[in-house]
Amino acid sequence: MQIVKIKKENYLHKTKEGIHLTFYFSDGTIKRGDLSPLPGWSVENLAEAEKEFDLLCGLSLDDAIKKLKFPSSIFALQSSIESEPVFPYEICKLYLQPPKEIHNKVAKVKFSQYSPKQALNWFNSVPYKTKIRVDLNQSWSLDDLLYFSTRVNPNQIDYIEEPIKNLGNLPKLPVPIALDEHLREFPFKELTERVAFDVVVIKPTLQLDYISIIKEAKKLGKRIVLSSSYESELGLNQIKALALEYNLVEAHGLDT
């Protein structure tokens, strides 16, 4: 099965530019993918990513993927879809700062501007039935993390995501730890050998080796949460299809 034609359609989504790609294959199959690097986070820009698709016609799908070097390009082709999936899993609500009220079963809240004491005060006002994913973007110190994790009610925590910059000496904590940025900064095998973690948060548009991480994390019994990076509806459907393909039963972070 070879790629015989690639159609490109530029779009603007939430002030972010992208390209919808339609792949026509020699057996009549038609698939679509969202090419959507995230400015400020992706190593490539949209023009660089688009250029990678200029010489793929005539190649098989596997050979075409091998020609690509940028994460957003690989995701657009490797996880391209034929139709919109029926998605049975919950979507995790994202709050860019702690809200005054919260009614979701699972929610992700960014606490990078909060001290541990401020975060604890907020948790005291949250219903226990809500599981919170605490996203810290590596903003706390190890002492901050130890102070918070040993005082917060663990039943309220789904996991703490990227709490500190250096996770190498992290002791076993009473709450689960999730990796996000570390997955793009270090080889996954190295992380499994030197970091105590429970969850991987994978952004396929930004993560070059997202398929291999999913496979290895499943073997190790780690939880796997997929996260969007301001893709269009097509890109979100690609991520949903990926979750279904690998049976990733989680509340995925597709609220951006």
Q: What percent of the chain has pLDDT over 70?
A: 100
- What domains can you pick out in the chain, each with its CATH number? 3-78 (3.30.390.10), 93-245 (3.20.20.120)
What strands, in cross-sheet order, belong to the sheet with 30-35? 3-13, 16-25, 30-35
Instruction: Spell out a b/e string for 14-36, using b for 16 or more CB atoms within 10 Å of the CB, else e.
Output: eebebbbbebeeeeeeebbbbbb
Cα 2 to Cα 58: distance, rounded to the nearest angstrom: 6
Look at residue 100 in the predicted model and tell me its pLDDT. 84
Q: Please state, in angstroms and as integers, the Cα–Cα distance from residue 156 to each residue in 129, 151, 163, 164, 180, following that order.
A: 7, 11, 17, 20, 21
Which pTM does this prediction carry?
A: 0.94
- Looking at residue 112, its pLDDT comes to 92
Q: What pLDDT digit, counting tens, does each position of 21-32 carry?
A: 999 999 999 999
pLDDT in tens, 87-143: 999 999 999 999 888 888 899 999 999 999 999 999 988 777 789 999 999 999 999
Question: pLDDT, tens digit, for every residue of 137-183?
Answer: 999 999 999 999 999 999 999 999 999 998 887 888 999 999 999 99
pLDDT, residue 13, reads 85
Q: Could you tell me which residues come within 8 angstroms of residue 198 by beta carbon, excluding any fewer than 6 positions away?
A: 159, 176, 177, 178, 222, 223
Is 180 strand, coil or helix?
coil
